[in-house]
Structures are given as C-alpha cells and as structure tokens.
Amino acid sequence: MADIIQLLPDHVANQIAAGEVVQRPASVVKELLENAIDAKAETIKLLVKDAGKTLVQVIDDGVGMSVTDARLSFERHATSKIRSAEDLFQLNTKGFRGEALASIAAIAHVELKTKQAQEEVGTAITIEGSEIVNQDVVVTPTGTSIAVKHLFFNIPARRNFLKSNTVETRHIIDEFQRVALAHPSISFVMYHNGSEVFNLPQSNYRQRIVNIFGTKTNEKLVPVNEDTDVLKISGFVGKPEYAKKSRGEQFFFVNNRFIKSAYLNHAITAAFDGLIKDGTHASYFLNLEVNPQTIDINIHPTKTEIKFDDEHTLYAILRASVKHSLGQFNIAPVLDFDRDANLDTPYDYSNKSASTPTIEVDRTFNPFDTEPRVEPSRTTSSSSSSPSSFSGRKPASTSSWESLYVGMESKGTKSQNDFSEIQFESVESTASLFDDSQISSKQSSYQLQNKYVLSAIKSGMLVVDQNRAHQRILYEDFLRYITGKDTVSQQLLFPLQIQLSKQEHDIVLSLKSDLEYAGFVFQNFENQMVEIIGLPINVPESEVSIILEQLISDVEHEVPDANFSAADLLAKSLSKSLAIKSGQSLTQTEQDHLVNSLFACKDPNVSPKNKPTFITMTVDELDKKFM
C-alpha cells in the first residue's frame, strides 16, 4: 500500500496557522501593536481603512531591524524573544512565538520598511501570499512601518465571514484600547479612513483612562492598591452608582498583558455584592503583577487567557483589595464601633467655647401633693416662704381626667350607648377556589405571575408574553415613525446633558438623523457632550441615559450585517429599553389593550428578536392533561 502521509507545503502551513492567529482585522492590529511595543517604541501610529479590510498600518519609532532580521521576521517561528523552552515561563514581552508576521504575510499583501538608528538607509520588503516580491534599500525614518493590505485576498471564504465595517471597527478599537491602557507611558494615535479617532499622549494610568473614556470618567474612579508577596494590584474600579448594563469597561492586565478571566471577574462581582443592581456590571481597570514563572500564557493562540498556579489565592486577595478600597473611600458602608457620628463637632461650632449650663430647681415641688398648687410669681416679695423663686418650666396641669372628654357628647338626643350607626372596617375576603360568584363576567383576560397575560379564545386559551408582545408593538411604532418621518416630540423644560466617551459620541452622532426621526431633538453635539431638548412622547426623561447606553451597546456588540438598516436597529433597541418588563403588574384595561394592540401589528407572532410572543392551548390539549 502506498504511503499516504505527507508534509504540507510551507504556504499551506502558514495559511493554517493564520486561521488561529488572524481571525479578523483586529487580530492584525493586536499583533502589530505588540511588536511595536517590544521594539521599545515611544510613539505608535495606527492607520486603518475600511475597518482594516483594505489597510492596517502601524508606524513606530522603535529600534528597527537590520536587513537580515527584516527578512527572517517573516519566517515561521522566527523570534528574538526566546532561545529555549524554559524561556516560555519567564516572558516579559508580547510576541514570542514568531508565527504572527508569517501568518499575516500568508493571507495579505505586506509592505515592511525599517531602519536602525545607526544605519543611514533602511530596508523595504514587499510580500504577497508568503512570497517575497521585492526587497530594496530605502530612505525611511528610524523605526518600523508595516502595512497590511487586502486581508484574506487569497482566501475569499474567510473574507466572507467578516462582519460589517461597524462591527469590525468596534473590534479594532477594542484591541487598540486594551494595548493603550496597558502602556500609558507610550503615545498612541489612531486614524480611521483619514480621520483621527484617538490621540493619546504619554501620561499616567488615570489620565490614560480619562483620555480614552471621557472626562466624566475621572469622578467615577476609585483607586485600588495592594502589594503582597504573591500579587501586586494597582488600578481603579468604578463607583457602584455608575455600574452599566454592558461589560464594556472591564479590563484585567497581567504583567501589562490584557487577559480575560471569568474566575477573576467573579471576584470583582463578589466585592460589589449588595452595592450594584442585578443585571448591571461594575467597571474596573486593574493591573496585576505576578511572578512570570507562576503563569502560563501559551494556552491560547491569541494569548488572552492565562493559566495561574494558585487561582484561589489570587481570587481572595483581589476580592479583599477591592472591598477594602470601596470601604476606605466611603463608597461602601463600614461598621465602626469606636466612633459615634453624633459626637462630631459641626464646622460652625469648631472654634466656639462651650457655655456652662445653669440649673434651677423648684424646691417647693411635692410629688405627694394632690391639691392644685399655685405657681409662685416672678414678682413675689423676698418675704415669701420659698427660699428662691422658680423661673423654670411651668409644671403640667393637674386638672381632672374628666376634662379630656369634654365636648365628646354626641349632638342630639341619642344615648351614648346607641350603636345603631357604628360601621366596622371592611376585611379583605379571599375568594374560594370554586366560588364562581367572585369572578366578574366582564373580565376577559388575566395576568399570571406578572409575566403572562391569559385570554380566552374560541378554540381554548391564549398565553401572551407581556414583555415580548410590548416590544413588538413599540418596534413597529418606532419603525413607522422613523421611516415615515412624522413623529411628535415633547419639549423639555430644561435641556438634558449627557457626557459620553469619544467612541460613544461618534456612535450617537452617526445615528443622529434616525434618532431625530424617532422623536429626539438635539441642541448641541460638541466636546463629547450630547444636549437633548426634546424626547419622543412615550419616553420618560429619567430613562434617556439608559436608552442611549442600551443603544450604544447594541451598535457595538449586537449590530447585524450591513444589509440591516440603522433605523431597524434603532427601533429594536428603543423597543427593548421601553417595553413592559416581566414582573410589572397590569390593570384589566392595560391587559386588554396589550392583547388588542399585539394582534393589530403586521407580524404579531414574533418579537423583534424573532422570539415567539404568544402560544395557544386548545381545549383538546387541556383535556389530554387530565387523562
């Protein structure tokens, strides 16, 4: 039998490796930024076109590469970070496997320009699909510039799996923020389609967070610092009142490398237990420093997951540190048995001297005296039998107790014992399970567990999910307003100002026209501030920030492909935010109106998320339950 096992060609092996390393344009951004950081760059520029599908270019002012290094950098498993297998457990750098550039070059057109400081000229290399097309000497600044063009040009099936430009841009911004947060001492600049998205100067960690997420973030941060033999923690957590429904602002960095860890995330959640509402998530930006020998960062191709030697200890230290910081800065309630707040001296009295109180005693007071006593006057002569006149509080009246009931006699000639008109308080009666007289004949629907609305139909019973049904009703209403452009707004007495981060501001700005058709009226859109002076009729003012937060989250993470319009997304997001929630009690009129409005919709069967809004149970199906 002929041999059937054979070695794969290098270009095929590179494409297989690219499937692990390069999942989307954001993966290229991550690898190139980390290489620039390892090159000791102080300024890094990222240029992106068409969400990275056309161009991803990273320019740095690092140490650069020699001619030989530039050529070797595109070979498989060529790296300057490790020399032996033991070095994998003592890593302090980013890229160490040596497959990133080789994998990228296998599925894209790559142009490299690099020069070292001591050299007069640099090297330019052009690669297309793992094949070196050109290598020349070129005049270029010190550092390295790598341009990745036409990603997945030779694998059209992989290119078809890419999402819309909005989604891919969101992933690129996420990767950029993670790298920029981990290295505040490096200046980062990002451009997308020629416009500047971020310009982050060298700063400290707090300033870097504020520069990325907006100036309002500064007042939300609570510092966390803990130094132990096992773990060193530094960074910030968000105040409980600023917890969000999305998980956008949650960052763990282990030795300046962004990681994802559900286990450590649970430690933060446990520290905030009882301080935030259910369904919301606290923000955190935490740097963890551990011994490199106690972690393994080679268990995942993207190196975003890390295996720890002793996770339980890290969990306990992290949870205790966060709780300590929340208590230290009076964010969480603290039990202190050594201090009484009632004894604190007010600021107005801090410099005043205490006055000595005067005590006056009525020496004529006799607790056994039943006769009414005359209060001695202030003008009594000195010959009075009392040693001293009493000028204190007037004693209570010793009138007879019958005076309390003067005027209580009933008017007219009725006797006090006439109870003919006495009315007793009504006691709420609970109807018997089989008492049909308690059931109103006019009631056409019933609410079950404040979640479902039950209604009788000819064939049996209708069960409506009140939340999904209301979402469908609102969705079609908003879609009709936005597309018809005939909505009515309610004007606010005072403008409503909402501070957003840079990317959140850009998202809302891109949806401005659709939001205006839905009923929002904007007055100002400058300096990452949104000023609203008008709202749709059925949108309460207190819900505006929640609605915008939900809308931004939907655009960032849940937006479908480009064949869906922004109006459709906006209608879905608004209906989800404003719909009746499960657990809300409805009156009989509201139940009937909900059912009638649902079946007046064009498509009452499903919610905007294509989930069923109601089910029916026929009499035959109910009969079978009792067989």
Q: Read off the pLDDT band of 401 (50, 70, 90).
A: low
**Residues 449, 450, 452, 458: what is their CA dihedral angle, to the nearest 10 degrees?**
90
Domain final position from 178, 200, 222: 200
Of 370-374, 394-398, 549-553, the poorest mean pLDDT is in 394-398
Q: What are the two backbone dihedrals, phi and then psi, of residue 192, each rounded to the nearest 5 degrees?
A: -130, 120
Which domain CATH number covers 304?
3.30.230.10
Phi-psi sector, 279: left (phi>0), alpha (psi -120 to 50), beta: left
If one counts the domains in the chain, the total is 3
Q: Taking Cα atoms as reference points, which of 215, 230, 218, 221 lies closest to residue 326?
A: 221
The SS3 assignment for 10 reads helix
> CA-based Rg of the chain, rounded to a whole angstrom?
37
- The CA-atom distances, in angstroms, between 239 and each of 218, 249, 318 are 11, 12, 17
pLDDT at 392: 46
pLDDT at 106: 87
Start-to-end C-alpha separation, the chain: 65
User: Residue 105 falls within a domain, yes or no?
Assistant: yes
Span 434-447, average pLDDT:
58
Residue 21 in contact with residue 301, Cβ under 8 Å? yes
pLDDT at 405: 61
- Most confident residue range from 99-103, 123-127, 500-504, 564-568: 123-127
**Cβ-Cβ contacts under 8 Å for 193 (sequence gap 6 or more):** 48, 49, 50
Question: Is the domain of 167 the same as that of 61?
Answer: yes
Beta strands in 511-626 (DSSP E): 521-524, 529-536, 614-618
Question: Is the domain of 79 the same as that of 214?
Answer: no
Q: Which residue has the tokens 């389609």?
A: 193
Question: Is the domain of 458 the same as that of 600?
Answer: yes
Residues 488, 70: Cα–Cα separation, whole Å: 63
pLDDT at 2: 66
Question: Is the domain of 503 the same as that of 610?
Answer: yes
Residues 134, 173: Cα–Cα separation, whole Å: 32
Q: Is the pLDDT of residue 438 over 60?
A: no
Domain final position from 328, 354, 377: 328
> What's the half-sphere exposure (Cβ side, CA atoms, 13 Å) at 575?
26
User: Residue 284 falls within a domain, yes or no?
Assistant: yes
**What are the tokens at 552?**
């931004």
Span 413-420, average pLDDT:
54
Amino acid at 49: K
Question: Is the domain of 608 the same as that of 460?
Answer: yes
∠ Cα 290 296 297 (to 5°): 95
Span 578-590, average pLDDT:
88
DSSP assignment of 306-342 equals -EES-HHHHHHHHHHHHHHHHHHTTSS----TT--GG
The SS3 assignment for 366 reads coil
Residue 187 in contact with residue 200, Cβ under 8 Å? yes
User: Residue 436 falls within a domain, yes or no?
Assistant: no
Give tens-digit pLDDT for 136-160.
999 999 999 999 999 988 888 888 8
User: Residue 374 falls within a domain, yes or no?
Assistant: no
User: Residue 376 falls within a domain, yes or no?
Assistant: no
Question: Is the domain of 179 the same as that of 216?
Answer: no
Question: Is the domain of 170 the same as that of 215?
Answer: no
Span 21-47, average pLDDT:
90
Q: Is the pLDDT of residue 94 over 50?
A: yes
Q: Tell me the helix, strand and coil percentages in the chain, rounded to 5.
A: 35, 20, 45
Q: What are the two backbone dihedrals, phi and then psi, of residue 552, each rounded to the nearest 5 degrees?
A: -65, -40
Q: Is the pLDDT of residue 396 over 70?
A: no
Question: Is the domain of 503 the same as that of 570?
Answer: yes
∠ Cα 580 585 591 (to 5°): 75
Strand partners, 606: 612
User: Residue 472 falls within a domain, yes or no?
Assistant: yes
Q: In 107-164, where does DSSP find H-type helix?
A: 156-160
- The CA-atom distances, in angstroms, between 515 and each of 473, 483, 487, 525, 540 are 18, 11, 11, 13, 15
Question: Is the domain of 146 the same as that of 226?
Answer: no
Buried b (16+ CB within 10 A) or exposed e, 94-104: bbbbbbbbbbb
- The CA-atom distances, in angstroms, between 68 and each of 27, 102, 123, 307 are 26, 15, 10, 35
Q: Taking Cα atoms as reference points, which of 474, 475, 447, 439 lies closest to residue 463?
A: 447
User: Residue 290 falls within a domain, yes or no?
Assistant: yes
Domain final position from 183, 200, 217: 200
User: Residue 431 falls within a domain, yes or no?
Assistant: no
**CB under 8 A, 24+ apart: contacts of 548-552:** 548/498, 548/500, 548/508, 549/244, 549/245, 549/246, 550/245, 550/576, 550/577, 551/507, 551/508, 551/511, 551/577, 552/500, 552/504, 552/507, 552/508
Of 52-61, 350-359, 408-417, 530-539, the poorest mean pLDDT is in 408-417
Number of other CB atoms surrounding residue 354 within 10 Å: 6
Q: Read off the pLDDT band of 183 (50, 70, 90).
A: very high
Q: Which residue has the tokens 């056409």?
A: 444
Question: Is the domain of 143 the same as that of 25?
Answer: yes
Percentage of residues of the chain with pLDDT beyond 70: 76
Q: Taking Cα atoms as reference points, which of 67, 71, 2, 74 lies closest to residue 31?
A: 74
Pairing of strands 187-192, 232-238: unpaired
Residues 324, 228: Cα–Cα separation, whole Å: 14
Q: Is the pLDDT of residue 233 over 70?
A: yes
Question: Is the domain of 538 the same as that of 594?
Answer: yes
Question: For residue 102, what is the enclosing H or E element?
Answer: helix 100-106
Residues 456, 624: Cα–Cα separation, whole Å: 18
- The CA-atom distances, in angstroms, between 41 and each of 98, 125, 196, 197 are 19, 21, 20, 20
Predicted TM-score (pTM) of the model is 0.66
Which domain CATH number covers 98?
3.30.565.10
**Mean residue pLDDT across the chain:** 80
Of 208-222, 472-486, 604-618, the poorest mean pLDDT is in 472-486
Instruction: Give the range of the structural domain holding residue 108, as residue numbers without chain letter.
Output: 10-200
Residues 402, 166: Cα–Cα separation, whole Å: 85
Question: Is the domain of 465 the same as that of 569?
Answer: yes
**What are the tokens at 517?**
């058709």
Query: For residue 248, with 0-12 CB atoms within 10 Å meaning exposed, 13-18 middle and 19 or more buried, which class applies?
Result: buried
Q: Is the pLDDT of residue 403 over 80?
A: no
